[in-house]
Structure 1
Amino acid sequence: MFMKPLEFDRRYGELDQVISACTGMPADDEPDEPSEALRAYLRHSWHTHPWALATAERQIREYARNPPGRLRLSLGEFYPVPDVGLPQSAIGDWLFVIADHLKRSIEEGEVPPPAAPGTHWEWHARFLELGQFLGGWFSQDMPDEFPDHDAAVRDYTTTTHPQLLARLTGELHELLALALEEPEYAFAVAELGMEVDPPQPYSPSGWLAHLADTLGRFKADYGPGPTATD
Protein backbone atom coordinates (compact mmCIF):
# COMPACT_ATOMS: atom_id res chain seq x y z
CA MET A 1 0.00 0.00 0.00
CA PHE A 2 1.49 3.34 -1.07
CA MET A 3 1.97 6.12 1.46
CA LYS A 4 -0.54 8.90 1.70
CA PRO A 5 0.74 12.40 0.81
CA LEU A 6 0.91 13.62 4.41
CA GLU A 7 3.01 10.68 5.54
CA PHE A 8 5.26 10.99 2.50
CA ASP A 9 5.92 14.68 3.17
CA ARG A 10 6.66 14.03 6.84
CA ARG A 11 9.23 11.38 6.02
CA TYR A 12 10.60 12.30 2.60
CA GLY A 13 9.19 15.64 1.42
CA GLU A 14 12.35 17.73 1.64
CA LEU A 15 14.57 14.78 0.77
CA ASP A 16 12.62 14.61 -2.48
CA GLN A 17 13.32 18.31 -3.13
CA VAL A 18 17.07 17.77 -2.71
CA ILE A 19 17.06 14.71 -4.96
CA SER A 20 15.00 16.59 -7.56
CA ALA A 21 17.59 19.37 -7.51
CA CYS A 22 20.31 16.78 -8.17
CA THR A 23 18.52 14.72 -10.81
CA GLY A 24 20.12 15.11 -14.22
CA MET A 25 23.22 16.73 -12.72
CA PRO A 26 26.55 15.12 -11.84
CA ALA A 27 26.40 13.62 -8.35
CA ASP A 28 29.99 14.72 -7.69
CA ASP A 29 29.64 16.08 -4.17
CA GLU A 30 32.89 15.82 -2.22
CA PRO A 31 33.31 16.17 1.56
CA ASP A 32 34.95 19.58 1.08
CA GLU A 33 32.99 20.76 -1.97
CA PRO A 34 29.27 20.51 -2.74
CA SER A 35 28.16 19.82 -6.28
CA GLU A 36 26.71 22.51 -8.50
CA ALA A 37 23.28 20.95 -7.97
CA LEU A 38 23.55 21.08 -4.18
CA ARG A 39 24.82 24.68 -4.31
CA ALA A 40 21.70 25.55 -6.32
CA TYR A 41 19.46 23.88 -3.72
CA LEU A 42 21.25 25.68 -0.88
CA ARG A 43 21.06 29.06 -2.61
CA HIS A 44 17.36 28.75 -3.40
CA SER A 45 16.40 27.34 0.01
CA TRP A 46 18.40 29.85 2.07
CA HIS A 47 16.71 32.76 0.29
CA THR A 48 13.14 31.38 0.19
CA HIS A 49 12.53 28.86 3.00
CA PRO A 50 15.66 28.39 5.14
CA TRP A 51 13.75 26.44 7.81
CA ALA A 52 13.53 23.50 5.36
CA LEU A 53 17.29 22.91 5.41
CA ALA A 54 17.24 21.23 8.83
CA THR A 55 14.34 19.03 7.73
CA ALA A 56 16.26 18.02 4.62
CA GLU A 57 19.38 17.19 6.64
CA ARG A 58 17.40 15.01 9.06
CA GLN A 59 15.40 13.19 6.39
CA ILE A 60 18.48 12.50 4.25
CA ARG A 61 20.54 11.22 7.18
CA GLU A 62 17.74 8.97 8.43
CA TYR A 63 17.22 7.57 4.94
CA ALA A 64 20.96 6.90 4.50
CA ARG A 65 21.09 5.11 7.85
CA ASN A 66 18.09 2.91 7.07
CA PRO A 67 18.01 2.28 3.32
CA PRO A 68 14.93 0.39 2.14
CA GLY A 69 15.07 -3.12 0.75
CA ARG A 70 13.39 -4.23 -2.46
CA LEU A 71 10.26 -5.49 -0.72
CA ARG A 72 9.58 -2.22 1.09
CA LEU A 73 10.20 -0.28 -2.11
CA SER A 74 7.78 -2.51 -4.04
CA LEU A 75 5.13 -1.89 -1.38
CA GLY A 76 5.56 1.84 -1.78
CA GLU A 77 6.51 2.32 1.86
CA PHE A 78 9.82 4.02 1.13
CA TYR A 79 11.08 6.74 -1.15
CA PRO A 80 12.89 5.27 -4.19
CA VAL A 81 15.92 7.41 -5.04
CA PRO A 82 15.90 8.07 -8.81
CA ASP A 83 18.91 7.31 -10.96
CA VAL A 84 21.55 9.93 -10.16
CA GLY A 85 24.36 8.23 -12.06
CA LEU A 86 25.79 6.34 -9.08
CA PRO A 87 25.82 2.61 -8.37
CA GLN A 88 23.32 1.55 -5.75
CA SER A 89 26.13 0.71 -3.34
CA ALA A 90 27.36 4.32 -3.43
CA ILE A 91 24.01 6.05 -2.80
CA GLY A 92 24.25 5.87 1.00
CA ASP A 93 27.71 7.45 1.18
CA TRP A 94 26.63 10.17 -1.25
CA LEU A 95 23.59 10.99 0.89
CA PHE A 96 25.76 11.25 4.01
CA VAL A 97 28.04 13.73 2.18
CA ILE A 98 24.99 15.83 1.24
CA ALA A 99 23.66 15.71 4.81
CA ASP A 100 27.04 16.85 6.13
CA HIS A 101 27.08 19.80 3.71
CA LEU A 102 23.58 20.81 4.82
CA LYS A 103 24.53 20.54 8.50
CA ARG A 104 27.68 22.61 7.99
CA SER A 105 25.79 25.25 6.05
CA ILE A 106 23.24 25.59 8.84
CA GLU A 107 25.65 25.53 11.78
CA GLU A 108 28.14 27.92 10.19
CA GLY A 109 25.54 30.17 8.58
CA GLU A 110 26.99 29.71 5.11
CA VAL A 111 24.37 31.63 3.15
CA PRO A 112 25.12 31.69 -0.60
CA PRO A 113 24.98 35.22 -2.04
CA PRO A 114 22.12 36.05 -4.40
CA ALA A 115 22.90 35.04 -7.96
CA ALA A 116 21.29 33.93 -11.17
CA PRO A 117 20.04 30.33 -11.09
CA GLY A 118 22.73 27.81 -11.93
CA THR A 119 20.68 24.75 -12.87
CA HIS A 120 17.49 23.84 -14.70
CA TRP A 121 15.89 22.90 -11.37
CA GLU A 122 16.79 26.25 -9.81
CA TRP A 123 15.37 28.23 -12.72
CA HIS A 124 12.00 26.55 -12.29
CA ALA A 125 12.05 26.61 -8.49
CA ARG A 126 12.77 30.34 -8.44
CA PHE A 127 10.55 31.39 -11.38
CA LEU A 128 7.67 28.97 -10.94
CA GLU A 129 4.86 31.01 -12.51
CA LEU A 130 7.07 32.33 -15.32
CA GLY A 131 7.92 28.73 -16.16
CA GLN A 132 4.22 27.86 -16.23
CA PHE A 133 3.52 30.85 -18.47
CA LEU A 134 6.35 30.35 -20.97
CA GLY A 135 6.10 26.58 -21.07
CA GLY A 136 2.31 26.57 -21.30
CA TRP A 137 1.64 29.44 -23.69
CA PHE A 138 4.87 29.70 -25.68
CA SER A 139 5.78 26.11 -26.47
CA GLN A 140 6.48 25.02 -30.05
CA ASP A 141 2.70 24.62 -30.52
CA MET A 142 2.04 28.32 -29.89
CA PRO A 143 1.86 29.32 -33.61
CA ASP A 144 -0.82 26.66 -34.17
CA GLU A 145 -2.90 27.80 -31.19
CA PHE A 146 -2.65 31.60 -31.39
CA PRO A 147 -2.30 34.08 -34.25
CA ASP A 148 0.48 35.96 -32.46
CA HIS A 149 2.25 36.50 -29.14
CA ASP A 150 -0.21 39.15 -27.98
CA ALA A 151 -3.12 36.73 -28.44
CA ALA A 152 -1.34 34.15 -26.29
CA VAL A 153 -0.74 36.76 -23.58
CA ARG A 154 -4.42 37.80 -23.71
CA ASP A 155 -5.47 34.17 -23.33
CA TYR A 156 -3.25 33.83 -20.27
CA THR A 157 -4.54 37.02 -18.65
CA THR A 158 -8.19 36.09 -19.20
CA THR A 159 -7.86 32.55 -17.85
CA THR A 160 -5.50 33.10 -14.90
CA HIS A 161 -6.30 34.26 -11.38
CA PRO A 162 -5.24 37.87 -10.69
CA GLN A 163 -2.97 36.76 -7.85
CA LEU A 164 -1.02 34.55 -10.25
CA LEU A 165 -0.82 37.45 -12.70
CA ALA A 166 0.70 39.55 -9.93
CA ARG A 167 3.14 36.75 -9.12
CA LEU A 168 4.18 36.49 -12.76
CA THR A 169 4.71 40.25 -12.93
CA GLY A 170 6.93 40.11 -9.87
CA GLU A 171 8.96 37.25 -11.31
CA LEU A 172 9.45 39.16 -14.55
CA HIS A 173 10.82 42.14 -12.63
CA GLU A 174 13.03 39.82 -10.55
CA LEU A 175 14.45 38.20 -13.69
CA LEU A 176 15.13 41.59 -15.26
CA ALA A 177 16.82 42.74 -12.04
CA LEU A 178 19.47 40.05 -12.56
CA ALA A 179 20.88 42.33 -15.29
CA LEU A 180 22.05 39.43 -17.45
CA GLU A 181 23.64 39.69 -20.86
CA GLU A 182 21.29 39.23 -23.81
CA PRO A 183 22.45 35.67 -24.62
CA GLU A 184 21.84 34.79 -20.97
CA TYR A 185 18.26 36.05 -21.19
CA ALA A 186 17.77 33.93 -24.30
CA PHE A 187 19.07 30.96 -22.32
CA ALA A 188 16.83 31.81 -19.36
CA VAL A 189 13.57 31.87 -21.32
CA ALA A 190 14.56 28.62 -23.05
CA GLU A 191 15.27 27.00 -19.68
CA LEU A 192 11.85 28.15 -18.50
CA GLY A 193 10.08 26.48 -21.42
CA MET A 194 9.83 29.05 -24.21
CA GLU A 195 10.25 27.31 -27.58
CA VAL A 196 9.48 30.19 -29.96
CA ASP A 197 11.33 33.43 -30.64
CA PRO A 198 10.14 36.70 -29.10
CA PRO A 199 8.01 38.81 -31.42
CA GLN A 200 9.74 41.31 -33.65
CA PRO A 201 11.40 43.68 -32.97
CA TYR A 202 12.04 42.57 -29.38
CA SER A 203 15.11 40.89 -27.96
CA PRO A 204 14.43 38.37 -25.17
CA SER A 205 15.05 40.95 -22.43
CA GLY A 206 13.10 43.61 -24.32
CA TRP A 207 10.09 41.34 -24.61
CA LEU A 208 10.29 40.43 -20.91
CA ALA A 209 10.33 44.14 -20.05
CA HIS A 210 7.36 44.71 -22.37
CA LEU A 211 5.48 41.86 -20.68
CA ALA A 212 6.24 43.23 -17.22
CA ASP A 213 4.88 46.63 -18.26
CA THR A 214 1.80 45.13 -19.94
CA LEU A 215 0.91 42.83 -17.06
CA GLY A 216 1.63 45.58 -14.56
CA ARG A 217 -1.21 47.59 -16.11
CA PHE A 218 -3.63 44.66 -15.98
CA LYS A 219 -6.69 45.28 -13.82
CA ALA A 220 -9.01 42.49 -12.74
CA ASP A 221 -12.66 42.75 -13.74
CA TYR A 222 -14.73 42.67 -10.55
CA GLY A 223 -18.03 43.35 -12.30
CA PRO A 224 -20.20 46.46 -12.08
CA GLY A 225 -19.70 48.62 -9.06
CA PRO A 226 -22.45 49.91 -6.76
CA THR A 227 -24.96 52.31 -8.28
CA ALA A 228 -26.15 55.55 -6.78
CA THR A 229 -29.30 53.83 -5.50
CA ASP A 230 -27.38 51.11 -3.60
Structure 2
Amino acid sequence: MPMKPLEFDHRYGELDQVISAFLGQPADDEEGRSSEALQAYLRHTWHTRPWAVAIAEQQIREYSRNPPGRLRRRLAEFYPVPDVGLPESEIQDWLVRIADHLKQSVEDGAVPPPSPPRTHWEWRARFPEAAQFLGGWFSQDMPDEFPDHDSAVRDYVTTTDPQLVARTAGELRELRALGLDESQYTVALAELGMEVDPPAPLAPSAWLVRLAERLASSHAGVHGRPAEKSAGT
Protein backbone atom coordinates (compact mmCIF):
# COMPACT_ATOMS: atom_id res chain seq x y z
CA MET A 1 0.00 0.00 0.00
CA PRO A 2 1.19 3.59 -0.58
CA MET A 3 3.16 5.22 2.20
CA LYS A 4 1.46 7.45 4.71
CA PRO A 5 2.23 11.19 4.39
CA LEU A 6 4.53 11.29 7.42
CA GLU A 7 6.65 8.41 6.17
CA PHE A 8 6.74 9.85 2.66
CA ASP A 9 7.95 13.24 3.92
CA HIS A 10 10.53 11.56 6.16
CA ARG A 11 12.00 9.64 3.23
CA TYR A 12 11.31 11.78 0.19
CA GLY A 13 9.82 15.14 1.19
CA GLU A 14 12.81 17.31 0.32
CA LEU A 15 13.84 15.09 -2.57
CA ASP A 16 10.42 15.88 -4.04
CA GLN A 17 11.06 19.62 -3.63
CA VAL A 18 14.30 19.34 -5.58
CA ILE A 19 12.78 17.24 -8.36
CA SER A 20 9.81 19.61 -8.62
CA ALA A 21 12.26 22.42 -9.36
CA PHE A 22 13.34 20.51 -12.49
CA LEU A 23 9.91 20.04 -14.06
CA GLY A 24 9.95 21.88 -17.39
CA GLN A 25 13.65 22.69 -16.98
CA PRO A 26 16.72 20.95 -18.48
CA ALA A 27 18.32 18.40 -16.18
CA ASP A 28 21.75 19.27 -17.54
CA ASP A 29 23.75 19.15 -14.32
CA GLU A 30 27.37 18.22 -14.81
CA GLU A 31 30.34 17.78 -12.51
CA GLY A 32 31.43 21.27 -11.51
CA ARG A 33 28.34 22.95 -12.97
CA SER A 34 24.78 22.86 -11.70
CA SER A 35 21.72 23.46 -13.83
CA GLU A 36 19.50 26.54 -13.71
CA ALA A 37 16.85 24.44 -11.99
CA LEU A 38 19.16 23.37 -9.17
CA GLN A 39 20.46 26.92 -8.79
CA ALA A 40 16.85 28.09 -8.39
CA TYR A 41 16.24 25.48 -5.68
CA LEU A 42 19.42 26.49 -3.84
CA ARG A 43 18.74 30.20 -4.17
CA HIS A 44 15.23 29.91 -2.74
CA THR A 45 15.96 27.28 -0.09
CA TRP A 46 19.11 28.89 1.32
CA HIS A 47 17.14 32.09 1.97
CA THR A 48 14.02 30.44 3.41
CA ARG A 49 14.89 26.98 4.85
CA PRO A 50 18.69 26.66 4.87
CA TRP A 51 18.65 23.45 6.94
CA ALA A 52 16.64 21.71 4.20
CA VAL A 53 19.57 21.67 1.74
CA ALA A 54 21.40 19.06 3.84
CA ILE A 55 18.19 17.04 4.21
CA ALA A 56 17.75 17.07 0.44
CA GLU A 57 21.33 15.84 -0.05
CA GLN A 58 20.77 12.98 2.38
CA GLN A 59 17.44 11.90 0.89
CA ILE A 60 18.67 12.07 -2.70
CA ARG A 61 21.87 10.17 -1.98
CA GLU A 62 19.98 7.48 -0.09
CA TYR A 63 17.49 7.13 -2.95
CA SER A 64 20.27 6.88 -5.52
CA ARG A 65 21.99 4.15 -3.47
CA ASN A 66 18.80 2.16 -2.94
CA PRO A 67 16.50 2.58 -5.95
CA PRO A 68 13.12 0.88 -5.50
CA GLY A 69 12.94 -2.77 -6.46
CA ARG A 70 10.02 -4.62 -7.96
CA LEU A 71 8.32 -5.31 -4.61
CA ARG A 72 8.34 -1.67 -3.52
CA ARG A 73 7.13 -0.66 -6.97
CA ARG A 74 4.25 -3.11 -6.78
CA LEU A 75 3.29 -1.85 -3.32
CA ALA A 76 3.72 1.79 -4.42
CA GLU A 77 6.04 2.32 -1.45
CA PHE A 78 8.56 4.43 -3.31
CA TYR A 79 9.07 7.85 -4.83
CA PRO A 80 8.36 7.79 -8.59
CA VAL A 81 10.80 10.25 -10.17
CA PRO A 82 8.82 12.35 -12.69
CA ASP A 83 9.99 12.76 -16.25
CA VAL A 84 12.92 15.19 -16.18
CA GLY A 85 13.96 14.56 -19.77
CA LEU A 86 16.55 11.87 -19.04
CA PRO A 87 16.52 8.16 -19.94
CA GLU A 88 15.75 5.97 -16.94
CA SER A 89 19.23 4.45 -17.19
CA GLU A 90 20.77 7.88 -16.48
CA ILE A 91 18.58 8.91 -13.54
CA GLN A 92 20.69 7.28 -10.85
CA ASP A 93 23.95 8.94 -11.94
CA TRP A 94 22.14 12.26 -12.28
CA LEU A 95 20.82 12.01 -8.74
CA VAL A 96 24.36 11.38 -7.47
CA ARG A 97 25.52 14.56 -9.23
CA ILE A 98 22.67 16.51 -7.65
CA ALA A 99 23.59 15.18 -4.19
CA ASP A 100 27.23 16.13 -4.78
CA HIS A 101 26.24 19.69 -5.72
CA LEU A 102 24.07 20.00 -2.62
CA LYS A 103 26.82 18.63 -0.39
CA GLN A 104 29.35 21.06 -1.82
CA SER A 105 26.96 23.97 -1.34
CA VAL A 106 26.52 23.10 2.35
CA GLU A 107 30.19 22.42 3.02
CA ASP A 108 31.29 25.62 1.26
CA GLY A 109 28.49 27.70 2.76
CA ALA A 110 27.83 28.88 -0.77
CA VAL A 111 24.67 30.96 -0.35
CA PRO A 112 23.50 32.31 -3.73
CA PRO A 113 22.91 36.06 -3.68
CA PRO A 114 19.29 37.26 -3.80
CA SER A 115 17.90 37.81 -7.28
CA PRO A 116 14.56 37.75 -9.09
CA PRO A 117 13.26 34.24 -9.71
CA ARG A 118 14.41 32.61 -12.94
CA THR A 119 12.24 29.53 -13.25
CA HIS A 120 8.53 28.77 -13.02
CA TRP A 121 9.11 26.74 -9.85
CA GLU A 122 11.07 29.54 -8.21
CA TRP A 123 8.41 32.17 -8.96
CA ARG A 124 5.74 30.08 -7.29
CA ALA A 125 7.92 28.95 -4.41
CA ARG A 126 8.84 32.54 -3.58
CA PHE A 127 5.36 34.04 -4.04
CA PRO A 128 2.92 31.22 -3.14
CA GLU A 129 0.00 33.35 -1.95
CA ALA A 130 0.33 35.77 -4.86
CA ALA A 131 0.24 32.78 -7.21
CA GLN A 132 -2.89 31.48 -5.50
CA PHE A 133 -4.53 34.90 -5.82
CA LEU A 134 -3.52 35.73 -9.39
CA GLY A 135 -4.04 32.23 -10.73
CA GLY A 136 -7.35 31.74 -8.96
CA TRP A 137 -9.00 35.11 -9.52
CA PHE A 138 -7.33 36.36 -12.72
CA SER A 139 -7.31 33.28 -14.91
CA GLN A 140 -8.69 33.34 -18.44
CA ASP A 141 -12.15 32.67 -16.95
CA MET A 142 -12.18 35.97 -15.02
CA PRO A 143 -14.23 37.90 -17.61
CA ASP A 144 -16.94 35.23 -17.39
CA GLU A 145 -17.00 35.25 -13.58
CA PHE A 146 -16.60 38.95 -12.74
CA PRO A 147 -17.63 42.19 -14.49
CA ASP A 148 -14.21 43.78 -13.87
CA HIS A 149 -10.91 43.48 -12.02
CA ASP A 150 -12.17 45.31 -8.93
CA SER A 151 -15.02 42.82 -8.54
CA ALA A 152 -12.52 39.95 -8.61
CA VAL A 153 -10.44 41.65 -5.92
CA ARG A 154 -13.52 42.21 -3.75
CA ASP A 155 -14.46 38.55 -4.07
CA TYR A 156 -10.96 37.47 -3.05
CA VAL A 157 -10.98 39.76 -0.02
CA THR A 158 -14.42 38.63 1.18
CA THR A 159 -13.78 34.90 0.71
CA THR A 160 -10.20 34.65 1.97
CA ASP A 161 -8.85 34.63 5.52
CA PRO A 162 -7.60 38.15 6.38
CA GLN A 163 -4.19 36.81 7.38
CA LEU A 164 -3.73 35.29 3.93
CA VAL A 165 -4.90 38.54 2.33
CA ALA A 166 -2.23 40.39 4.31
CA ARG A 167 0.39 37.84 3.28
CA THR A 168 -0.57 38.27 -0.36
CA ALA A 169 -0.27 42.03 -0.04
CA GLY A 170 3.23 41.61 1.35
CA GLU A 171 4.25 39.29 -1.48
CA LEU A 172 2.93 41.75 -4.08
CA ARG A 173 4.98 44.52 -2.45
CA GLU A 174 8.05 42.31 -2.51
CA LEU A 175 7.39 41.51 -6.17
CA ARG A 176 7.12 45.20 -7.01
CA ALA A 177 10.35 45.88 -5.09
CA LEU A 178 12.32 43.63 -7.47
CA GLY A 179 12.66 46.64 -9.77
CA LEU A 180 11.94 44.80 -13.01
CA ASP A 181 11.02 46.47 -16.26
CA GLU A 182 7.45 46.27 -17.56
CA SER A 183 8.09 43.33 -19.88
CA GLN A 184 9.65 41.39 -17.00
CA TYR A 185 6.67 42.16 -14.78
CA THR A 186 4.41 40.86 -17.53
CA VAL A 187 6.37 37.60 -17.48
CA ALA A 188 6.25 37.51 -13.67
CA LEU A 189 2.47 37.89 -13.58
CA ALA A 190 2.10 35.14 -16.18
CA GLU A 191 4.41 32.82 -14.23
CA LEU A 192 2.23 33.42 -11.16
CA GLY A 193 -0.91 32.41 -13.06
CA MET A 194 -2.43 35.68 -14.27
CA GLU A 195 -3.98 35.10 -17.70
CA VAL A 196 -5.68 38.47 -18.30
CA ASP A 197 -4.20 41.92 -18.86
CA PRO A 198 -4.15 44.48 -16.05
CA PRO A 199 -7.02 46.97 -16.22
CA ALA A 200 -6.39 49.76 -18.71
CA PRO A 201 -4.52 52.04 -18.65
CA LEU A 202 -2.36 50.53 -15.88
CA ALA A 203 1.02 48.98 -16.65
CA PRO A 204 1.87 45.75 -14.80
CA SER A 205 4.01 47.53 -12.18
CA ALA A 206 1.30 50.10 -11.45
CA TRP A 207 -1.28 47.30 -11.21
CA LEU A 208 0.86 45.55 -8.60
CA VAL A 209 1.05 48.74 -6.53
CA ARG A 210 -2.72 49.19 -6.68
CA LEU A 211 -3.36 45.55 -5.79
CA ALA A 212 -1.01 45.63 -2.80
CA GLU A 213 -2.57 48.86 -1.50
CA ARG A 214 -6.09 47.52 -1.96
CA LEU A 215 -5.37 44.27 -0.15
CA ALA A 216 -3.47 46.00 2.65
CA SER A 217 -6.26 48.52 3.21
CA SER A 218 -8.88 45.77 3.31
CA HIS A 219 -6.85 43.92 5.94
CA ALA A 220 -6.42 47.10 7.99
CA GLY A 221 -10.15 47.70 7.74
CA VAL A 222 -10.92 44.30 9.20
CA HIS A 223 -8.48 44.51 12.09
CA GLY A 224 -8.71 48.26 12.66
CA ARG A 225 -12.52 48.34 12.99
CA PRO A 226 -13.57 49.66 16.40
CA ALA A 227 -15.47 47.25 18.59
CA GLU A 228 -19.23 47.57 18.52
CA LYS A 229 -20.83 49.11 21.58
CA SER A 230 -22.80 46.81 23.75
CA ALA A 231 -26.45 47.48 24.48
CA GLY A 232 -27.03 50.15 27.08
CA THR A 233 -23.69 51.94 26.62
Q: Same fold (TM over 0.5)?
A: yes
1: distance between equivalents of 2:79 and 2:31?
Answer: 24
Q: CA deviation at 1:229?
A: 4.8
Partner of 2:209: 209
Tell me, which stretches of 5 or more residues in structure 2 are unaligned?
none
Partner of 1:227: 230
Query: Could you tell me which amino acid in structure 2 is paired with residue 143 of structure 1?
Result: P
Q: For residues 1-230 of structure 1, what are the structure 2 equivalents within 5 Å? A: 1-218=1-218, 219-220=221-222, 224-227=227-230, 229=232
1: distance between equivalents of 2:229 and 2:28?
Answer: 63
Q: CA deviation at 1:185?
A: 0.1
Aligned with 2:63: secondary structure?
helix
CA deviations over 1:154-196 (Å, ceiling 9, x no partner) = 0000000011011001101110110001100000001111010
Q: Could you list the runs of 4 or more consecutive aligned residues of structure 1 that deviate by over 4 angstroms after TM superposition?
A: 221-224
Aligned with 1:19: secondary structure?
helix
2: distance between equivalents of 1:73 and 1:131?
Answer: 34
2: distance between equivalents of 1:216 and 1:208?
Answer: 12
CA deviations over 1:42-74 (Å, ceiling 9, x no partner) = 000000011111110000000000011243123
Aligned with 2:21: secondary structure?
helix
Query: Could you tell me which amino acid in structure 2 is paired with residue 220 of structure 1?
Result: V
2: distance between equivalents of 1:23 and 1:57?
Answer: 19
2: distance between equivalents of 1:195 and 1:161?
Answer: 24
CA deviations over 1:57-95 (Å, ceiling 9, x no partner) = 000000000011243123111101011111111101100
| Aligned residue-pair number | 230
Aligned with 2:208: secondary structure?
helix
Q: CA deviation at 1:228?
A: 7.4
Q: CA deviation at 1:208?
A: 0.4
Query: Could you tell me which amino acid in structure 1 is paired with residue 7 of structure 2?
Result: E
Deviates more, 1:26-35 or 1:210-219: 210-219
Identical columns (%): 69
1: distance between equivalents of 2:117 and 2:70?
Answer: 36
Query: Could you tell me which amino acid in structure 2 is paired with residue 225 of structure 1?
Result: E
Aligned with 2:222: secondary structure?
coil
User: What is the CA RMSD across the aligned residues, in angstroms?
Assistant: 1.4
Aligned with 1:105: secondary structure?
helix
1: distance between equivalents of 2:53 and 2:81?
Answer: 19
CA deviations over 1:80-127 (Å, ceiling 9, x no partner) = 101111111110110010001001000101000000001000000000
Tell me, which stretches of 5 or more residues in structure 1 are unaligned?
none
2: distance between equivalents of 1:59 and 1:148?
Answer: 47
Q: CA deviation at 1:24?
A: 1.4
1: distance between equivalents of 2:3 and 2:232?
Answer: 57
Q: CA deviation at 1:216?
A: 1.6
1: distance between equivalents of 2:47 and 2:231?
Answer: 49
If the length of structure 1 is used for normalisation, what is the TM-score?
A: 0.97
Aligned with 1:194: secondary structure?
coil
2: distance between equivalents of 1:223 and 1:19?
Answer: 49
